[in-house]
Amino acid sequence: MKNRWNEKEASRYSDDVLALRAYTSRLIGQDEDLVLHDGGNTSVKVVASDFFGDEVDVLYVNGSGWDLGDIEPAGFAPVKLDVLKRMAQLENLSDTNMVNQQRAAMLDPNAPNPSVEAILHAIIPFKYVDHTHADAVVSITNTSDGEARIREIYGDRVLVIPYVMPGFVLSKKVVELSHGLDWSRLEGMVLMNHGIFSFADDARVSYERMLKLVGEANDYLASQNATEIKTATASEVIDLSTLTQLRQSVSQLAGKAMLCQLNQSPEAIAFSLLDNITDIAMRGPLTPDHVIRTKRIPMIISGDIEEDTLNYRAAYQQY
């Protein structure tokens, strides 16, 4: 993992905690091995003044819709920390009520909506919290024996959380599994089939812990020969008229004009030649982050464009 920390750059924010939080968030967001566009979330806990000048504990968490790759302080939502912690103690909370109460607890009504994982950030007892959907980690957690492999890699240095939907339910699960836990002995937290957290009371330590943990996952994949990318070359020249038919068919299916670009990279060709290509491709992407870039499922082309389009329509509706 490439450490993008620049001490000279970071020193510019030594007197501004939120600006430093934005800086380290950009370091994470600019690494596509950690997050894709609009993915991941980060936070910092501070003491701030409310409208009346009273000091309150506040969680600044990145707002929904802000890309960590270019986020600025304005992209963080200031939410009263005690409100978020009280919400974590509720037995039930709908998504609608969670969103409404988080907005009601904001110090700045003009700030963006807090991340859906704001409650989870609030209950982690460290100043800086970083959350990514790192490819290496999710590649391991998404296997049938993923939890055993995660524990083999990290031992008791991370808290392992079984998969539950992000939001209030996930926060409740973390509260349950961390009851009586000594957080100081942890370096991070792995959410099965979801991603990874790092945290610390120092911005740089939290960032570098993320790199360390993800780097260990990368090393593990390499040790299992899981990082080799096969390549191949095209055995025949592509008939561009077929590409035109494909574009027309997909445009009709989408109900709007679509572009079609041919990718004949050695990696793409090798992937298309896999015997179980349909089974693999139809499993869907690793995380919601990847849906943004790759969409949910591909169209498998066997030769008959019309039939392939009908099969794709059926598969898409069933997915």
Q: Tell me: the pLDDT tens digits for 191-208?
A: 999 999 999 999 999 999
Query: Domain boundary at 223, 253, 269, which?
Result: 223
**pTM for the whole structure:** 0.85
Residues 205 and 254 in one domain: no
| 37: CATH | 3.40.225.10
Would you say residue 183 has pLDDT above 80? yes
* pLDDT for residue 318 is more than 90: no
33: domain range? 7-223
Does residue 177 lie within any of the structural domains?
Answer: yes
Q: Using CA of residue 116, residue 128, residue 88, residue 72, what is the dihedral sign?
A: negative
Do 39 and 117 share a domain, yes or no? yes
CB 115 within 8 A of CB 64: yes
More reliable by pLDDT, 128 or 243: 128
Task: State which of 191, 223, 255 marks the end of a domain.
Answer: 223
- Give the Cα separation of 214 and 246 in Å (integer): 39
Residue, of 258 and 199, whose pLDDT is higher: 199
Q: What is the pLDDT of residues 213-223, one digit of tens each?
A: 999 999 999 99
- 286, pLDDT greater than 70: no
Whole-number Å distance between alpha carbons of 158 and 172:
18
Residue 218 inside a domain? The answer is yes
Q: What is the mean pLDDT of the chain?
A: 90
pLDDT value of residue 283: 76
SS3 63: strand
The residues, any chain, with a CB within 8 Å of residue 60's CB and separated by 6 or more, are: 18, 21, 43, 44, 45, 46, 76, 77, 78, 79
Please state at what angle helix 203-223 crosses helix 146-154, rounded to 10 degrees.
120
Into how many domains does the chain fold?
2
Q: Are residues 207 and 260 in the same domain?
A: no
Q: Are residues 104 and 206 in the same domain?
A: yes
Examine the domain organization and report whether 181 and 312 are in the same domain.
Answer: no
247 and 218 fall within a common domain: no
Asked whether residue 251 is domain-assigned, the answer is yes
Q: Is residue 232 assigned to a domain?
A: no
Asked whether residue 148 is domain-assigned, the answer is: yes
The answer on pLDDT for 314 being more than 90 is no
* Residue 279 included in any domain: yes
Are 48 and 80 in contact, with CB atoms under 8 Å apart? no
Percent of the chain with pLDDT over 70: 93
Mean pLDDT of 251-276: 86
Give the model's pLDDT for residue 241: 82
* Co-location of 46 and 104 in the same domain: yes
Helix (H) or strand (E) holding 311: helix 305-318
Of the listed ranges 176-190, 234-248, 265-279, the one predicted with least confidence: 234-248
Please tell me whether residues 289 and 194 are part of one structural domain.
Answer: no
Domain match, 90 and 154 both: yes
As a whole number, mean pLDDT of residues 24-47 equals 90
Binned at pLDDT 50, 70 and 90, residue 106 comes out as: very high
2 part of a folded domain: no
**Is the confidence at residue 104, as pLDDT, over 80?**
yes
Q: Is residue 153 part of a domain?
A: yes
pLDDT band at 319 (very low <50, low <70, confident <90, very high): low
pLDDT of 316: 66
Instruction: Evaluate the CA torsion angle 107, 64, 206, 81 in order and state its sign.
Output: positive
Residues 6+ apart with CB under 8 A from 229: 267, 270
274 and 202 in one domain?
A: no
Confidence of residue 37 (pLDDT cuts 50, 70, 90): low
Q: What is the pLDDT of residue 295?
A: 67
Q: pLDDT band at 70, cuts 50/70/90?
A: very high
Helix (H) or strand (E) holding 95: helix 95-104
Which amino acid appears at position 11 of this protein? S
DSSP 130-199: EEE--HHHHHHHTSTTHHHHHHHHHTTSEEEE----TTHHHHHHHHHHTTT--GGG-SEEEETTTEEEEE
Query: How is residue 301 annotated by DSSP?
Result: P
* Whether residue 209 sits in one domain with residue 274: no
Domain boundary among 223, 251, 279: 223
pLDDT category, 228, cuts 50, 70, 90?
confident
Q: Please say if the pLDDT value at position 276 is more than 90.
A: no
Which helix H or strand E contains 248, and what residues bound it? helix 240-254
Q: What is the pLDDT of residue 288?
A: 61
Mean local confidence (pLDDT), 158-171:
94
Position 18 scores a pLDDT of 97
Note whether 207 and 310 are same-domain residues.
no
What percentage of the chain exceeds 90 in pLDDT? 65
Q: Rounded to a whole number, what is the largest CA-CA distance in the chain?
A: 73
What's the rounded Cα separation, in Å, for the pair 210 and 206? Answer: 6
